[in-house]
Amino acid sequence: MTHHSLTVCAAGFTTGLAIGVLAVGCRLVWRKRFANWGATPDEVALPLAGDEVRADVDLVTTRAIAISAPPDFVWPWLVQMGSGRGGTYSYDWAENLIGLDMHSAEVILPQFQQVALGDEFPLAGRKSVMRVAALEPGRQLAFCCGDGKWVSSYRLLPAADTTRLVSRHRIVLPDGTPRAKLIRAFAEPCWLMFERKMLLGIKFRAERLAHDAGRAPAAAAAGQP
């Protein structure tokens, strides 16, 4: 092999390696953005009720949003969530395509405000249930589905008349079948889209409730989700 050929091969190898490293780096950066949308590093590291339900999960997301309302205007929207209950304040039409019976409430539903540890709520059209896995009224709430394969935890962090709502999902993904690989490829961006809609939906409802009650504080700091 000539010196020129060696140079070309070396350049090609170096370029390919650089592209590969860049691709992996971009994936890691975007994956982190998908997993931790809106959350500060301290919130990502914050222990949440429900973390202890299952340790061996494949995906953990921690996302957060600033809400210009005290926690007691946020909490009622959390406890009434669920299929056939208050919905998830996300894309009902998409969730109902798979029979989840989600109808996002625009008002507080008194009949769904009292929950207790261990309460179970059926998921419409499915054999599984959503169980209250952890509860600290006014502060923390966790739901568990599929024998711990999906745990959704929520924590309210008050600051004056505003609240940080921190949401964490700990998920066991399917095994390495082709269908599972497809799920893994699209899961993170899709779940971000739905959860972002949910967090914004809770923010809008809580701030409207606080405003109607004459408790609306100054808007959250610009640029904070």
d(CA 61, CA 163): 20
**Residue 108 token pair:** 């507080």
Range 82-97 average pLDDT: 90
Q: What type of residue is 195?
A: E
Position 70 scores a pLDDT of 95
Range 103-129 average pLDDT: 89
196-222: pLDDT as tens digits:
999 999 999 999 999 998 865 544 333
Closest by Cα among 78, 85, 44 to 61: 44
* 178 and 207 share one domain: yes
Q: Residue 185 is inside which H or E element, if any?
A: helix 178-212
Residue 146, sorted as left (phi over 0), alpha (psi -120 to 50) or beta, turns out to be left
* 21 and 70 share one domain: no
**Does residue 163 surpass a pLDDT of 50?**
yes
**Higher-scoring residue by pLDDT: 123, 167:** 167
Q: Which domain holds residue 193?
A: 38-212
- Strand extents, DSSP E, the chain: 59-67, 120-122, 129-136, 140-145, 150-159, 162-171
* 20 and 95 share one domain: no
**Residue 17 token pair:** 């390696």
* 24 and 57 share one domain: no
Residue 51 counted as domain residue: yes
* 93 and 27 share one domain: no
* 30 and 42 share one domain: no
* 92 and 29 share one domain: no
**Residue 49 token pair:** 């009720």
d(CA 225, CA 217): 16
Position 219 scores a pLDDT of 42
CA 181 to chain centre: 21
Number of domains in the chain: 2
Residue 220 counted as domain residue: no
Position 11 scores a pLDDT of 39
d(CA 118, CA 143): 9
d(CA 86, CA 141): 15
**Does residue 64 surpass a pLDDT of 70?**
yes
Mean pLDDT of the chain: 80
What CATH number does the domain containing 108 carry?
Answer: 3.30.530.20
**Higher-scoring residue by pLDDT: 151, 7:** 151
**Does residue 121 surpass a pLDDT of 70?**
yes
